[in-house]
Amino acid sequence: MLTGLVILGFVILAIMTIFKILNEYERGVIFFLGRFQKVKGPGIIIVVPFIQKMTRVDLRVIVMDVPTQDVISKDNVSVKVNAVVYFRIVDPEKAIIQVVNVFEATSQIAQTTLRSVLGQHELDEMLSERDKLNADIQQILDRHTDAWGIKVANVEIKHIDLDESMIRAIAAQAEAERSRRAKVIHAEGERQAAGQLSEAAALLGVNKQALQLRYLQTLTEVATEGTNTIIFPLPMDLLTPLLQLDKGKDDRSS
C-alpha cells in the first residue's frame, strides 16, 4: 500500500514537472541542454526534466515608472523630471538571450534617454512642447531596445518640478508679458481710434451739410440730458461776416 502511494506520488510529480500550462499572454523559451531550441505556447507544453529548461515570458504591456531625474536644461535651469514608459516584449527569444534582465535594462536606458533628450531643450520647451518630447524619447527608446525584443509603445512625462525661486521668476515673467500685451492692445486701439477720427474730421470738413447735421445731433443729445443750462456752440461761419464788418469800421475810424 505504501509502495503504491509512493509510486503514485512520483507519477503526479513527474506529470507536474513534464507538463506546463502557459496562458494566452505567456510564451515559454525552451533550452535543450543549454542551447536555445524554440519558443512554445500558449497552452499545454511538454518539458523534459533535466534535459530541457523553460523560461516564462509575459507578452502583456508593462507600465514602468522612470524614477525622478535631475535634469539641467539648455538654458541652465535645474529641474526634476519623472516619466512613465509603456512597452511590451515582442520577441521572447531576444528578451531572454540578448540581455540579462530586460526590465532593469529598459529602466536604465529610459533614465539616461530622459536626461539626454530634455537636456537639449530649454525650460519653456519642456513646459509647452511636452508631446513632442514624449515622441522623441519614445523613438529613441524604441530604437535602442529593439535588439532586446522590446517594443516601446508610449512615453509620458509625468511631472516637471521647479524650485520656488524659479516658479516666482516664471510668474513674474508671465505677468510682465500680460502687461506688455495689454499695453500693445491699448496702443493699437488708440491708433485705430485716431485714424477713424481723422477720417471723420476730413469727411465733415468737405461736406458742410454733414457738419450741420452733426451740429444738430449734438444739440439734441445735450437737450435730452435734463440740464437747466444749455450752451449752444455758434458756428464760425456766422461770426466771420460780423468780424469782417467790425474790422471795416475800425479801419474807417482810423
Phi, psi of 224 (to 5 degrees): -80, -5
Report yes or no on whether pTM surpasses 0.85: no
For the stretch 176-213, pLDDT in tens is 777 788 788 888 888 887 777 677 666 666 666 665 66
Cα of 49 vs its chain's centroid, Å: 54
Q: In sequence order, which residues have a C-beta less than 8 Å from that of residue 138 and are 6 or more positions away? A: 152, 153, 154, 155
3-class secondary structure, 104: helix
For the stretch 110-163, pLDDT in tens is 999 999 999 999 888 888 899 999 999 999 999 999 999 999 999 999 988 887
3-class secondary structure, 110: helix
- pLDDT (average), residues 245-251: 57
Question: Is residue 240 scored above 80 in pLDDT?
Answer: no
pLDDT band at 9 (very low <50, low <70, confident <90, very high): confident
For the stretch 56-87, pLDDT in tens is 999 999 999 999 999 988 888 889 999 999 99
Cα R_g (the chain), whole angstroms: 43
For residues 29 and 96, the answer to whether their CB atoms sit within 8 Å is yes
Q: How many CA atoms lie within 13 A of 3 on its CB side?
A: 0
Give the pLDDT confidence score for residue 78 in this predicted structure: 86
Pairing assessment for the beta strands 150-161 and 78-89 based on DSSP bridges = antiparallel
pLDDT band at 173 (very low <50, low <70, confident <90, very high): low
Shortest CA distance to 47 belongs to which of 24, 23, 25, 21? 21
* Cell digits of residue 111: 533614465
C-alpha–C-alpha distance, residues 150 and 143, integer Å: 9
Q: What DSSP designation does 189 have?
A: H
What fold, for 62-166? Tetrahydropterin Synthase; Chain A (3.30.479)
**Cβ neighbourhood burial of 88 (10 Å; 0-12, 13-18, 19+):** middle
C-alpha–C-alpha distance, residues 95 and 182, integer Å: 58
The size of the chain, in residues, is 254
Q: Which residue has the cell 531576444?
A: 94
